[in-house]
């Protein structure tokens, strides 16, 4: 399953389409921002940086939020989802 669009990436004969549901979500953070109540609109972006064990950046993605007018707010959710071939996580009871 594709974590972005939640559709099948590979089709086997007899496979039935299903909505992708993560087998496990070890990290989920939600927060909100509000643009200050005065002044002009500001452009906002979400930046996701992924680092390896040595602290080296291995991936960086920027998602445009768009311009927020004074008083506008947006809520964000960041989650790390695990999808396994057999739907099982070693060491976790289902």
Q: Rounded distance, CA 72 to CA 31, Å? A: 14
67, part of any domain: yes
Number of domains in the chain: 1
Q: pLDDT tens for the chain, 94 residues: list them.
A: 566 666 666 655 665 555 556 778 889 999 999 999 888 999 999 999 999 999 999 999 999 999 999 999 999 999 998 877 777 776 766 5
- Residue 7, SS3? coil
91, part of any domain: no
- Say if residues 46 and 93 touch (Cβ distance below 8 Å): no
18, part of any domain: no
7, part of any domain: no
Entry pTM: 0.64
């Amino acid at each position: 399953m594709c974590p972005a669009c939640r559709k099948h990436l590979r089709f086997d004969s007899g496979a039935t389409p299903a909505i992708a549901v993560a087998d496990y979500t070890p990290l989920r953070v939600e927060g909100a921002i509000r643009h200050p109540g005065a002044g002009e609109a500001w452009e906002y972006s979400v930046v996701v940086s992924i680092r390896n064990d040595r602290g080296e950046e291995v991936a960086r993605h920027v998602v445009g939020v768009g311009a927020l007018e004074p008083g506008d707010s947006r809520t964000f959710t960041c989650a790390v989802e695990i999808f396994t071939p057999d739907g099982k996580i070693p060491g976790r009871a289902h």
